[in-house]
Amino acid sequence: QSVLTQPPSVSETPGQRVTISCSGSSPNIGSNIVNWYQQLPGAAPKLLIYNDNQRPSGVPDRFSGSKSGISASLAISGLQSQDEADYYCASWDDSLNGLVFGGGTKLTVL
């Protein structure tokens, strides 16, 4: 059972927009920043969104992050087949004094 809750899977057709939710609580998302990671099949995770809504250099602006209260979301617009991956949210947890991840969401582009 992960500290941060994500839907196990989402799917959408190419060109459309999809959102992935990440639900936490006061000691983590409610108090600290949220970061998102993309893990392509067979690859290591890669930082996708940091500091709630910032994109590292090289990440397309089709990817965006937002946060409100104890929840965060990752939105992907203009879906492409190469976006098929697992997506993880993460945040520091003040109670556990450590980094916590969501369980991951598998995105399928139909």
Partner 1 sequence: QVKLQESGPGLVKPSETLSLTCTVSGASISTYYWSWIRQPPGKGLEWIGHILYKGNTNYSPSLKSRLTISVDTSKNQVSLTLASMTTADTAVYYCARALIGRTYPDWLDPWGQGTLVSVSS
Residue numbers at the binding site for partner 1 (CB under 8 A) = 2, 32-33, 35, 37, 44-47, 50-51, 56, 88, 90-92, 96-104
Choice between 76 and 100, CB closer to partner 1: 100
> Least distance in Å: CB of 14 to partner 1?
26
- 59 vs 75 by CB, closer to partner 1: 59
Amino acid residing at 36: W
- The residue whose two tokens read 């697992």 is 86
If we measure between CA atoms, which residue out of 13, 2, 1, 5 comes closest to residue 84? 13
Give the shortest CB-31-to-partner 1 separation in angstroms.
Answer: 9
Nearer to partner 1, 79 or 90 (CB): 90
In angstroms, rounded to a whole number, what is the distance separating the alpha carbons of residues 2 and 6?
A: 9
Supply 42's token pair. Answer: 């067979």
CB of 89 to partner 1, least distance (A): 10
| CA end-to-end distance (rounded Å), the chain | 28
